Amino acid sequence: MIRGRFAPTPSGLMHIGNLCTALLAWLQVRKAGGRFVLRMEDIDKPRSRPELTKQIIDDLRWFGIDWDEGPDVGGPFGPYTQSEREELYQDALKKLLLEGWLYPCYCSRADLMSIASAPHGLESEGPVYPGTCRQLTETERMQKEAVKKPSLRFAMPDKPITFEDGIAGVKQIPPGAGGDFVVRRADGIIGYQLAVVVDDAAMGITDVLRGWDLLDSTPRQLLLYEALQLQAPRFAHVPLLYGPDGERLSKRHGSLAAASIRSKGIAPQRIVGRIGWLLSLIDSPEPMNPSDLIREFSLTKIQKHPIHLNEEDMKALTGEA
Ligand code: GLU
């Protein structure tokens, strides 16, 4: 049986783009008769706002999406909130440390900024870390340790990675692309890459469908699955939505926040139908429920390029032009 999930970070209000990703992840699971999991990714506590968890749950329910396991309904693989799963991440860290995959990095933010102009290995993943701290001697480490708490980085093995994405197709990533990444920050916070791998594996997720912005994270996650000897899921990365201003949807597009749409009394079916049509799942943007789209859903129908909302879409989605 397939198991899929939607894993929002409660750091901002959900917008139409998040609803679109959630809808597709839900459709994939419902079409296959699998189980759908909701997981709150609040591992980065300083960025998370606990009150948003309830808002996200309310927005998803309003939209017509349900889940079989989640923070509010529980389930056999709980808890479904990352801040309550710290022990699992610490166990994984220990295992990686013992097996020699990690090294402490003492570089400061300023050191990292100074390499910001280096060419990027993976788009959207920031500058490539040049591995400064990888080669430190024991003495150098001890000297640095006395003055600064380190982060822990995963030492990328020197081999290419190939994987097949359900929408983006076959991806071939050169050895070390993106550079060694942080799995635990200097302030002790576990990095997204590690937490998401530990959770997806522990929750038995077979199919990860998520936004295109995370495609570049996938090779890193595949390496973590391998290092932790865990079974990796299948991946499918869905296109992101862009506003009429040409910018990727974000907090700045306030009128496209689910909360704002709800407050205007716009019917969720109108949004579902428009999204289904923009995604080419249906031929006209008529209002419908998520369940009406199950029959129409197929990964093969989903395009690889970003979706640009025009003024007419904006009017339909927000009631304003
Ligand atoms: N929590 C991540 C986000 O909100 C998504 C993680 C994932 O789907 O892998 O962007």
Domain locations along the chain: 3-84+239-318, 86-195
Position 120 scores a pLDDT of: 46
114 — pLDDT class (breaks 50, 70, 90): confident
Top-confidence range, 105-109, 198-202, 255-259: 198-202
Q: What is the C-alpha R_g of the chain?
A: 21
- Answer for the pair 49, 304: CB distance below 8 angstroms, yes or no: no
Give the model's pLDDT for residue 319.
80
Catalytic residue numbers, as ranges: 251
**Ligand 1 environment, Cβ below 6 A:** 7-9, 41, 196, 210, 214
At the second CATH level, the architecture of 3-84+239-318 is 3-Layer(aba) Sandwich (3.40)
- Helix, strand or coil, per DSSP, at residue 125: coil
At residue 108, the pLDDT reads 85
Distance 9 CA to ligand 1 centre (A): 6
Which of 34-43, 108-117, 264-273 is the least confident region?
A: 108-117
User: Average of pLDDT values for 117-145?
Assistant: 79
pLDDT of 321 over the 80 cut: no
Q: At 130, list the tokens.
A: 């040049």
The yes-or-no verdict on residue 122 having pLDDT over 70 is: no
What average pLDDT does range 234-238 have in this prediction?
A: 98
Question: What's the rounded Cα separation, in Å, for the pair 170 and 265?
Answer: 42
Ligand 1 atom at shortest distance from the alpha carbon of 196 = 9
pLDDT value, residue 195 = 98
Q: Is the pLDDT of residue 190 over 50?
A: yes
**Phi, psi at residue 39, to the nearest 5°?**
-130, 130
| 3-state SS assignment for residue 82 | helix
**Residue 119 pLDDT exceeds 80:** no
pLDDT of 126 reads 62
Fold entry, domain 86-195: Glutamyl-tRNA Synthetase; domain 3 (3.90.800)
DSSP 3-state percent helix, strand, coil across the chain (nearest 5): 40, 15, 40
Q: How far is the CA of 281 from the centre of ligand 1 (A)?
A: 23
Distance of CA 18 to the CA centre of its chain: 10
pLDDT exceeds 90 at position 166: yes
The residues near 2 (Cβ < 8 Å, ≥ 6 apart) are: 28, 29, 32, 34, 35, 206, 207
